[in-house]
Structure 1
Amino acid sequence: VCIVGSGPAGFYTAQQLIKVFPVWVMLESISTLGPFSTSVHSGVFDIPAVDIYERLPVPFGLVRFGVAPDHPEVKNVINTFTQTARQSRCSFYGNVDVGTDVSVEELRQAYHAVVLSYGAEGNRTMGVPGEDLAGVHAAKDFVGWYNGLPSCRQLRPDLSSETAVILGQGNVALDVARVLLSPLDILKMTDITQPALEALAESQVRRVLIVGRRGPVQVACTVKEVREMVNLPNARPEMVGADFEGVAEALKDLPRPRKRLTELMLKTALEVPGEKEQQRRSEASHAWGFRFFRSPVEILADPERSRTAGIRLAVNRLEGSGEGARAVLTGEVEDVTCGLVISSIGYKSLPIDPSLPFDSRKAIVLNNMGRVQRAAGLYCSGWLKTGPTGVIATTMNNSFDTARSLVEDMDLGTLDVSVVKPGSQSVAALLEKRGVKPVTFSDWEKIDRVELSRGEAVGKPREKLSVTDHNGHRQEMAL
Structure 2
Amino acid sequence: MRHIAVIGSGPAGYYTAEACQKAFHDDVRVDIIDRLPVPYGLIRFGVAPDHQSIKAVSKRYEMVALSDNVRFVGNVAVGRDISIAELQSLYDAVVIATGAPRDRALDIPGAALPGVIGSAAFVGWYNGHPEFADLAPPLSHTGAVVIGHGNVALDVARILSKTPHEFEGSDIADHALRVLSASQVRRIALVGRRGPYQIAMTPKELGELGHLEHAAPYVDPDDLPPVAGDAALEAGLRKSVGHLRQFAAMTTKRPVTVEFDFFSKPVAIEGKDKVERLIVERTVLDSNQVAHGTGETYAIDCGLIVSCIGYTTPPIEGVPYDDALGRFANVDGRIAPGLYAVGWARRGPTGTIGTNRPDGYMIAETIAADIAGDSGKQGRPALDSLLAERGVEIVTFRDWQKIEAAEIARAQGESPRKKFTHIDEMIAALNR
TM score, norm. by length of structure 1: 0.87
Aligned counterpart in structure 1 of residue 415 of structure 2, from 446, 457, 460: 460
Aligned counterpart in structure 1 of residue 337 of structure 2, from 349, 364, 376: 376
User: 2:290 maps to what in 1?
Assistant: 326
CA deviation map 1:134-179 (0-9, x unaligned): 1110011011001000000110111101111000011011011111
User: 1:401 maps to what in 2?
Assistant: 362
C-alpha RMSD of matched pairs (Å): 1.4
Which residue type is aligned with residue 236 of structure 2? Answer: P
> 1:458 offset after TM fit, Å?
4.1
CA deviation map 1:202-230 (0-9, x unaligned): 11111111110001000111111110012
> 1:364 offset after TM fit, Å?
1.7
Is 1:365 the counterpart of 2:328? The answer is: yes
SS in 2 for 1:161: coil
Is 1:335 the counterpart of 2:314? The answer is: no
Greater fraction of residues in helix:
1
The aligned runs of 1:69-468 (5 Å cut-off) are 69-244=49-224, 246-269=225-248, 271=249, 273=250, 278=251, 281-282=252-253, 284-301=254-271, 305-320=272-287, 324-353=288-317, 355-372=318-335, 375-410=336-371, 413=372, 417-455=373-411, 457-468=412-423
> 1:475 offset after TM fit, Å?
2.9
- For the 8 Å contact 1:188–1:197, the answer to whether it is kept is no
Question: Any gaps of 5 or more consecutive residues in structure 2?
Answer: none
Give the whole-Å Cα distance in 1 for the aligned partners of 2:208 and 2:322. 37
User: 1:42 maps to what in 2?
Assistant: none
Give the whole-Å Cα distance in 1 for the aligned partners of 2:332 and 2:56. 28
SS in 2 for 1:95: coil
- For the 8 Å contact 1:308–1:340, the answer to whether it is kept is yes
SS in 1 for 2:76: coil
Give the whole-Å Cα distance in 1 for the aligned partners of 2:193 and 2:307. 13
Give the whole-Å Cα distance in 1 for the aligned partners of 2:391 and 2:109. 43
Aligned counterpart in structure 1 of residue 15 of structure 2, from 12, 27, 35: 12
Which residue type is aligned with residue 406 of structure 1? Answer: I
> 1:369 offset after TM fit, Å?
2.2
SS in 1 for 2:56: helix
Give the whole-Å Cα distance in 2 for the aligned partners of 1:6 and 1:418. 26
- For the 8 Å contact 2:163–2:181, the answer to whether it is kept is no
SS in 2 for 1:52: strand
> 1:255 offset after TM fit, Å?
1.8
Give the whole-Å Cα distance in 1 for the aligned partners of 2:430 and 2:226. 56
> 1:407 offset after TM fit, Å?
1.5
SS in 1 for 2:282: strand
How many residues align? The count is: 429
Give the whole-Å Cα distance in 2 for the aligned partners of 1:200 and 1:255. 36
Question: Any gaps of 5 or more consecutive residues in structure 1?
Answer: 26-46
Give the whole-Å Cα distance in 2 for the aligned partners of 1:428 and 1:107. 12
Which residue type is aligned with residue 285 of structure 1? Answer: P
> 1:262 offset after TM fit, Å?
1.3
Give the whole-Å Cα distance in 2 for the aligned partners of 1:289 and 1:127. 23
TM score, norm. by length of structure 2: 0.96
SS in 2 for 1:102: coil
> 1:368 offset after TM fit, Å?
2.4
Give the whole-Å Cα distance in 2 for the aligned partners of 1:197 and 1:268. 27
Give the whole-Å Cα distance in 1 for the aligned partners of 2:242 and 2:53. 26
Give the whole-Å Cα distance in 1 for the aligned partners of 2:398 and 2:127. 22
SS in 2 for 1:217: helix
> 1:265 offset after TM fit, Å?
0.9
User: 1:32 maps to what in 2?
Assistant: none
User: 1:474 maps to what in 2?
Assistant: 427
> 1:472 offset after TM fit, Å?
5.6
Give the whole-Å Cα distance in 2 for the aligned partners of 1:247 and 1:430. 65
Which residue type is aligned with residue 445 of structure 1? Answer: Q
Which residue type is aligned with residue 23 of structure 2? Answer: V
> 1:333 offset after TM fit, Å?
0.8
Q: Rg: which structure is higher?
A: 1
Give the whole-Å Cα distance in 2 for the aligned partners of 1:458 and 1:266. 37
> 1:474 offset after TM fit, Å?
3.3
Give the whole-Å Cα distance in 1 for the aligned partners of 2:41 and 2:181. 27
User: 1:34 maps to what in 2?
Assistant: none
User: 1:67 maps to what in 2?
Assistant: 47
Going from structure 1 to structure 2, the CA distance change for 1:73 and 1:459 (only over 3 Å counts) comes to closer
User: 1:36 maps to what in 2?
Assistant: none
Identity of aligned residues (%): 38
